[in-house]
Structure 1
Amino acid sequence: MNRLLNKVAIVTGGARGMGAHTCRLFVQEGARVVITDVLEAEGEALARELGDAARFRKLDVSDESAWASLVAETVEDFGRVDVLVNNAAVLAFGSITELSKAAFERVVAINLVGTFLGIRTVAPFMKQQGAGSIVNISSVDGLRGVNALAAYVSSKWGVRGLTKAAALELGHHGVRVNSIHPGGVNTVMSNPTGAPVDEVNKGYRNVPAQRVGDPDEVARATLFLASDEASYCHGSELAVDGGMAAGSYYPGLPGSPI
């Protein structure tokens, strides 16, 4: 408890899924949280659930002026911004030859440009404070290639590289920038039909954990990087992926459970 006591955090894509779990955990650990999302009903409901420690603000992360207004309001109301979690993201399925330019650009605008705008907007305030933590939610697909997800993969590799550049530019000002790389996580994005977890797990027999991830497992990793416990982490990549990035089993050979 109290690992984020008196800290002020902004979480994008915070209305549901990994973002909502992160907001709940941050409040439990003593933070005041600004929940941002385009999903107003879900975001407002979560803010009511969390009480006085949380507020909801609608934010399109690809909107430069909206970012400026959000951060200025946060600093005016709370006096500081200690943590930024760039979590908002979208998917677009389709082969490279079938994916439209507009669909590709939308994914990059939200996943990568949105992360860039968040970093750029909070950085001056964190530099002035001499402290801050920025946690960028990339993906296991920012560590590897995947068919049918060219736009998503490109954006998440971009987040990974942006994290390194930002860590170099901001680290000597006391601002830490790190990335988290979730694997399959049981959220609306990856399980839109709400299939039972036992059914979902059947698709993960080829990875070491033998199951899909829980959003709270990603939230706890985010908490670590956001907290002062990660004081020597700059530009790091934390894979919370059940071993997906490590490789996959050859069925029937020694060491394989399948």
Structure 2
Amino acid sequence: MRCQPNNGHQVYIWLKNVQTCLLCDEQTGSISSICAACESDLPWLIDQCDHCALPLPLSGMTCAQCIRQPPAFSQVIVPWLYDFPIDALVTRFKHQAKWPLGRLLGEMLGQTLQHRFDEGLERPDLLLPVPLARKRLRQRGYNQAAMLAHWLGDALRLPVDERLIKRIKETPAQQGLDAKARKRNLRDAFALPTPARVFGQHIALIDDVLTTGATAHALARLLIQAGARQVDVYCLARTARPGD
């Protein structure tokens, strides 16, 4: 076809040129779509619970909730606290289809994970995005967790299966519910039609924000009951305890 470039010619690739920062609109001076100043100002989560990543005053601790009722997942890998501007970026990605913002956050999460893998964190066998109910998926038109999972899968060379877990129960939105209400809301909400697929596997659940951990716990428990060896959670941001 005449519209296709010849193999011997260079093709203009936009992503290989100097970018404008998606947060401050200044040139980044590199191919990155966020400048160094904005990246350093993000609310990086440093001190956290070793199990659920709840922000804590010191590192290397376990929160009281995880001591009383340990969640079914083993650990949470998350780079940021759910605070400005991460909260605004996630909201625009999730509810306003600002996919470049989601891609930016996904790439940075991928860099965090690769750094942790290089330090000895065990790589999972499979990435599973948290599923959306059919009604909500039709309304929104996309599952932001599935988009994150595929971006991470490409960057980290890990397989992704967004159809393995089914959300079989239409539930009210989790936002605005306390921890107990979230757990009741998720009772029998998920199904695993082919449990043999996860037997003996190390699974990583992918989501945008971890709040109480109720959804991740329900999914991890389902996977562990089906024979999964370990379930971790990878997400963009972690909320603090209300009032903190």
TM range (shorter): 0.3 to 0.5
TM-score by length of 2: 0.34
Structure number with larger C-alpha Rg: 2
TM-score by length of 1: 0.33
Higher helix fraction (1 or 2): 1
